[in-house]
């Protein structure tokens, strides 16, 4: 049963949530619907999809949208409703609205209503795609007590693991995208530390502090990095990491304060009618924050897997004070010889805002893994790249 979070249902009449749904398989056309629905779906294609693509550290989400979501949105009403709802909520987020529009909530709950009343008529691929879109919708909530998207993503994982699931070509494409998302939301899970981490006696002296107000996006990046690194330092002090752990509460409070100050900075610039790179980068970081927030709650999620042994756990390198490197092992795909969907783009991506740099590593003597590196600021990344290319000096 798909259920909305409390925040998602707020402000919507009860008869929208419960009622007689139209058949899930009704055919719809792209140009069908009200002017607002058509405009919002266009916003989904042009603005929301690239943002969701950034969340998976890949540039191929646009291909995924074109090959899968577009196809389903033209023929499956529930996917159309979810796409429109996701775009509307994304637009609310971009405008820093503290209350999502009733239109977003209404479209979202219409989708849940349809799929919950469809029974056995729903295909596995439709359910899986619903799981991913619903999770993305919930991820846009930066203030919830926990991440409402995690149970929906976990539901997709259970379907993939079910031996009764029949794998179609579309199922495989959705699987690889789901695995990418699962990797991203696991970046803050408790890891195994590589040699070189700081001693416990130094940790309490390195608790991050925030200014009363940010003066530039560069300062935002640096402070975010300090909090991000501090989360892992906490694991060297606290043997148990859960939502009741004082370290988790500290990190959550620091991230929340960081986000509030970023929003204040954006509001100030807009009030001054200022435009340019600083405003754009700050806005980008305010959106990127959503997935990091989700990752933090995933690290204490009771339904999540807790791997702390080599081959399954993330490996974290804290030897440098100016960067944090996380090595995440990839999982094998479905046991089919015809799986041809690439897991990651081989060229990798540079850090943008607070979104880490990513590189896929294939090795002949170990399973493939993804290396994610967050730098204190862009200058550190540029220096590291020069060393790799030309060597020291």
| Residue pair 59/345 in contact by the 8 Å Cβ criterion | yes
Would the pLDDT of 256 be above 70? yes
- Rounded Cα distance, 187 and 292, in Å: 8
CA torsion 295-105-156-21 (nearest 10°) is 170
Looking at residue 106, what is its pLDDT?
Answer: 86
Would the pLDDT of 15 be above 70? no
Would the pLDDT of 255 be above 90? yes
Q: Give 336 or 280, the one with higher predicted confidence.
A: 280
Looking at residue 220, what is its pLDDT?
Answer: 94
Task: Render pLDDT for 262-274 as a digit per residue (tens, 0 to 9).
Answer: 999 999 998 888 8
- Rounded Cα distance, 340 and 374, in Å: 30
Task: Render pLDDT for 325-334 as a digit per residue (tens, 0 to 9).
Answer: 999 887 655 5
Closest CA to 111 of 73, 165, 143, 148: 73
- Rounded Cα distance, 128 and 160, in Å: 9
Would the pLDDT of 304 be above 70? no
Would the pLDDT of 295 be above 80? yes
Looking at residue 13, what is its pLDDT?
Answer: 41
Task: Render pLDDT for 73-115 as a digit per residue (tens, 0 to 9).
Answer: 878 888 889 988 888 888 877 776 655 578 888 888 888 888 8
Task: Render pLDDT for 272-281 as a digit per residue (tens, 0 to 9).
Answer: 888 788 988 8
Which burial class, exposed, middle or buried, applies to 138 when counting CB atoms under 10 A from its CB (0-12, 13-18, 19+)? buried
> For the whole model, what pTM was predicted?
0.79
Would the pLDDT of 260 be above 90? yes
Q: Give 36 or 24, the one with higher predicted confidence.
A: 36
């Amino acid at each position: 049963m798909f259920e909305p979070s409390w925040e998602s249902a707020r402000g919507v009449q009860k008869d929208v949530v419960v009622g007689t749904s139209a058949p899930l398989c009704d055919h719809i056309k792209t140009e069908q619907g009200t002017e607002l629905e058509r405009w919002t779906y266009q916003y989904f294609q042009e603005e929301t999809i690239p943002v969701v693509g950034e969340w998976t550290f890949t540039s191929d989400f646009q291909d995924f949208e074109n090959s899968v979501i577009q196809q389903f949105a033209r023929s499956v009403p529930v996917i159309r409703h979810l796409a429109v709802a996701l775009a509307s909520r994304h637009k609310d987020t971009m405008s820093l609205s503290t209350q999502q529009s009733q239109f977003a909530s209404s479209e979202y709950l219409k989708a849940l209503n349809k799929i919950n009343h469809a029974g056995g008529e729903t295909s596995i691929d439709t359910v899986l795609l619903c799981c991913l879109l619903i999770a993305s919708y919930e991820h846009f909530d930066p203030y919830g007590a926990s991440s409402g998207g995690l149970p929906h993503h976990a539901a997709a994982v259970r379907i993939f693991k079910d031996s009764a699931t029949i794998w179609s070509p579309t199922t495989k494409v959705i699987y690889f995208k789901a695995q990418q998302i699962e990797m991203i939301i696991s970046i803050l899970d408790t890891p195994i530390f590589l040699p070189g981490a700081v001693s416990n006696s130094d940790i309490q002296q390195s608790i991050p502090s925030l200014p009363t107000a940010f003066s530039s996006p560069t300062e935002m990046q640096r402070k975010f990095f300090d909090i991000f690194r501090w989360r892992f330092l906490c694991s060297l002090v606290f043997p148990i990491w859960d939502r009741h752990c004082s370290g988790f509460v500290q990190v959550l409070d620091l991230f929340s304060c960081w986000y509030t100050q970023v929003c204040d900075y954006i509001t100030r610039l807009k009030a001054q009618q200022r435009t340019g790179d600083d405003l754009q980068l700050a806005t980008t970081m305010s959106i990127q924050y959503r997935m990091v927030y989700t990752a933090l709650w995933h690290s204490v999620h009771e339904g999540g897997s807790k791997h702390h042994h080599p081959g399954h756990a993330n490996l974290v390198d804290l030897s440098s004070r100016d960067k944090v490197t996380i090595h995440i092992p990839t999982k094998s795909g479905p046991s089919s010889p015809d799986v041809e969907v690439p897991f990651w783009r081989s060229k990798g991506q540079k850090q943008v805002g607070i979104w880490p740099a990513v590189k896929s590593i294939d090795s002949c003597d170990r399973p493939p893994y993804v290396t994610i590196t967050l730098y204190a600021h862009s200058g550190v990344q540029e220096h590291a790249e020069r060393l790799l290319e030309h060597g020291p000096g």
